[in-house]
Amino acid sequence: MQETQFVLMLWFIGIVAEAMTGALAAGKQRMDLFGVVIVGSATAVGGGTLRDMMLGNYPLIWIENWHYLLAIVLASLLTVVIAPVMQYLTKLFLTIDALGLAVFSVIGAQKTLMLGLSPAVAIVMGVITGVFGGVIRDILCNQVPLIFRKELYGIVAIVTASCYVTLQLAGTEPWLNLSVSLWLGFSLRMLAIRFSWSVPTFHYSIGERR
Amino acid sequence: MQETQFVLMLWFIGIVAEAMTGALAAGKQRMDLFGVVIVGSATAVGGGTLRDMMLGNYPLIWIENWHYLLAIVLASLLTVVIAPVMQYLTKLFLTIDALGLAVFSVIGAQKTLMLGLSPAVAIVMGVITGVFGGVIRDILCNQVPLIFRKELYGIVAIVTASCYVTLQLAGTEPWLNLSVSLWLGFSLRMLAIRFSWSVPTFHYSIGERR
Amino acid sequence: MQETQFVLMLWFIGIVAEAMTGALAAGKQRMDLFGVVIVGSATAVGGGTLRDMMLGNYPLIWIENWHYLLAIVLASLLTVVIAPVMQYLTKLFLTIDALGLAVFSVIGAQKTLMLGLSPAVAIVMGVITGVFGGVIRDILCNQVPLIFRKELYGIVAIVTASCYVTLQLAGTEPWLNLSVSLWLGFSLRMLAIRFSWSVPTFHYSIGERR
């Protein structure tokens, strides 16, 4: 199996996991099945779509290959069916989601470097790809995005994308870079969940600003 | 009258109706007239704008022809003036809105097919054009998008766009296709309102996900 | 100093001020530092980014020159540090923010005219550049955008952009146009704050619309 196929497989697992988090969030808002599918889809492809629209990088992946959308729609609907047993699968689910986060961050950075853009922009795009699906999900569900408040989610995206970009610039062999970056991101996310690591919060309440 | 002129006329009625739903939603949030105009405009052109930005299809319609924006601004402000009598016009208003939904769904699919994209993408773009104006309106008003919760709004967009795309691929004569698709979408929406048809909802409350 | 350098300097002051309003808004939602940086950045470059994505005008400024992003990230984090003294700096801060609004509105209109687009579109883009950073900030913080409800913020953007476009079309010397437009926008905003000028609000509560 080639490295591109390997990444594609991981990416596919990632978008399915993201579609499921979107469908569950929709269920918490008691949305109908149409809402479930839309929120699931927006969560799954939202980060990558925003990245490519910012880069002017057309056509979008899911427009070029609509089979991904079909998989996302099915994953969203499947989530509704298996929701009653989801409580027993929390650990499995968090694990897949952590893998998805690492893969999205690496892919976002990788695609940006391939377009010949700067390392700094590649890291930013890795973060956008990794976390903005979740941001769009929470906006559609009328919530303050949870990744802005809890756990080490955004930081994992920054570290993962930075690691990938650094090793790439250092001329590391692609397979090695991929393995190290994905493993670092995945481990960091799992450790953050296990030990409830979080980023300091900023609480501002003085006065009233527009 | 040519079919393109006919569609253009219906589209114009549609954006005016959408601008009015936006203005009314802004009024429920006690926004000022600036907010009314912005929410009205975003509701009217939001779906088509998102579609064209996703397709990389530039220039946007309202940038190429700003007279549409002028009409939308005027429709938003007019809504403020006639708001006191809107309660007596509910049926008329729902009828125009239903027409707008059908027209937007057909136009979104039509434009996508004309760009040479696949039927599946054309249906997705029909749905985005039909419903995302309302989604953007509800996000700007800090509400969970109502189309994710109530009535057969999204499904009407899916059915209408699918009908248009299928008949188009089957080589149906343009006028006939337009008439059938618009009539199907319009009727389905009116029946859904009349009989309170809705899509099953998904209610998920077990446990706490990230 | 050339006029382009002068505008660039003002623009830089503007994005730093906007990043600070974003960071403060994030602090009111008790976000973590990652959220503070994301909301700060989105507020600072959100309006211009949306404008350029609507115009299909690539590459985006902060992708072409990522040093701006670095400045925005630092401004967001600095805000957290100096938050305790922000209450004594309210007037200074409102002054800088008013300057930013005027500069953003002028720049949005200027860039649009340079692309050869119509005066009406240039005014619309001036308004989008001026106010949508704040709209995106409020959406990320799960608030109804304040500029839709309070004070003369949107109107200042309209007046400033219209003034610039009109003088430009009248062939006014660039320096003079810049000075007049910026001064008009800045003064109008400061007067609006001083005298609590506002736009009439629209309150609609009759019946229930979709």
pLDDT in tens, A24-60: 999 999 999 999 999 999 999 999 999 999 999 999 9
Q: What is the mean pLDDT of chain A?
A: 91
Any chains having at least 3 CB pairs less than 8 A from chain A are: B, C
Measured between CA atoms, the residue of chain A closest to residue C148 is A210
* Cα gap C77→C34, rounded to integer Å: 10
CB-nearest to A63 from B121, B147, B200 is B121
CB of B143 within 8 A of CB of A142? yes
* Cα gap A173→A171, rounded to integer Å: 6
Each residue's pLDDT, cut to its tens digit, for chain C (210 residues) gives 677 888 888 888 889 989 999 999 999 999 999 999 999 999 999 999 999 999 999 999 999 999 999 999 999 999 999 888 887 888 888 888 899 899 999 999 999 999 999 999 999 999 999 999 999 999 999 999 988 877 788 999 999 999 999 999 999 999 999 999 999 999 999 999 888 888 888 888 765 444
* Cα gap A144→C31, rounded to integer Å: 9
- Interface residue ranges in chain B relative to chain A, Cβ cutoff 8 Å: 53-56, 117-118, 120-121, 124, 135, 139, 142-145, 147-150, 153-155, 158, 198-207, 209-210
User: Could you state, in chain order, the average pLDDT of each consecutive group of 10 residues for chain B (210 residues)?
Assistant: 81 90 92 94 96 97 93 93 84 86 95 96 97 94 86 91 97 93 96 88 67
Helix (H), strand (E) at residue C146: none
Inter-axis angle of helices C3-28 and C90-114, to 10 degrees? 130
Q: Which residues pair with C32 in a beta bridge?
A: A201
The C-alpha of B142 sits at a distance from chain C's nearest C-alpha, in angstroms, of 5
* Cα gap B115→C52, rounded to integer Å: 22
Please give the single-letter amino acid code of residue B9. M
Residue C4 has what pLDDT? 80
Nearest to C53 by CA among A14, B37, B54, B162: B54
* Cα gap C56→C126, rounded to integer Å: 16
What's the number of CA atoms in the CB half-sphere (13 Å) around residue C170? 10
DSSP B201: B
Nearest to A37 by CA among B141, C182, B164, B158: B158
Length of chain B: 210
What's the number of CA atoms in the CB half-sphere (13 Å) around residue A197? 13
Burial readout A5-25 (b: 16 or more C-beta within 10 A, e: otherwise): eebeebbeebbbbbbbbbbbb
DSSP-assigned letters across all residues of A119-178: HHHHHHHHHHHHHHHHHHHHHHTT---GGGTSTTHHHHHHHHHHHHHHHHHTT--HHHHH
User: Band of the pLDDT at A10, cuts 50, 70, 90?
Assistant: confident
CB of B107 within 8 A of CB of B129? yes
Helix (H), strand (E) at residue B58: none
Kindly give, in sequence order, each residue whose CB lies less than 8 Å from that of residue A121, ignoring residues fewer than 6 positions away: A112, C63, C66
DSSP B32: B
Please list every residue in chain B whose beta carbon sits closer than 8 Å to the beta carbon of residue C142. 142
Please list every residue in chain B whose beta carbon sits closer than 8 Å to the beta carbon of residue A84. 206
Per the CB < 8 Å rule, is A33 touching B201?
yes
DSSP-assigned letters across all residues of C63-75: HH-THHHHHHHHH
- Interface residue ranges in chain A relative to chain B, Cβ cutoff 8 Å: 21, 23-36, 38-39, 49, 53, 56, 58-60, 63, 66, 69-70, 80, 83-84, 86-87, 90, 93-94, 97, 139-142, 146, 150-151, 153
CB-nearest to A120 from C34, C39, C66 is C66
Please list every residue in chain C whose beta carbon sits closer than 8 Å to the beta carbon of residue B26. 148, 202
Measured between CA atoms, the residue of chain C closest to residue B83 is C204
CB of C44 within 8 A of CB of C22? yes
Residue A4 has what pLDDT? 80
Nearest to A23 by CA among A32, A36, A38, A41: A36
Taking phi first (over 0 means left), then psi (-120 to 50 degrees means alpha), and beta for anything else, what does residue C103 get? Answer: alpha
CB-nearest to C87 from A55, A147, A206 is A206
Please list every residue in chain B whose beta carbon sits closer than 8 Å to the beta carbon of residue A151. 210
Per the CB < 8 Å rule, is A28 touching B149?
no
* Cα gap C59→A54, rounded to integer Å: 8
3-state helix, strand, coil in chain C (%, to 5): 75, 0, 20
- SS3 category, A2: coil
Please list every residue in chain B whose beta carbon sits closer than 8 Å to the beta carbon of residue A60. 54
Measured between CA atoms, the residue of chain C closest to residue B54 is C53
Quote the tokens at residue A82.
């298996």
Per the CB < 8 Å rule, is C118 touching B66?
yes
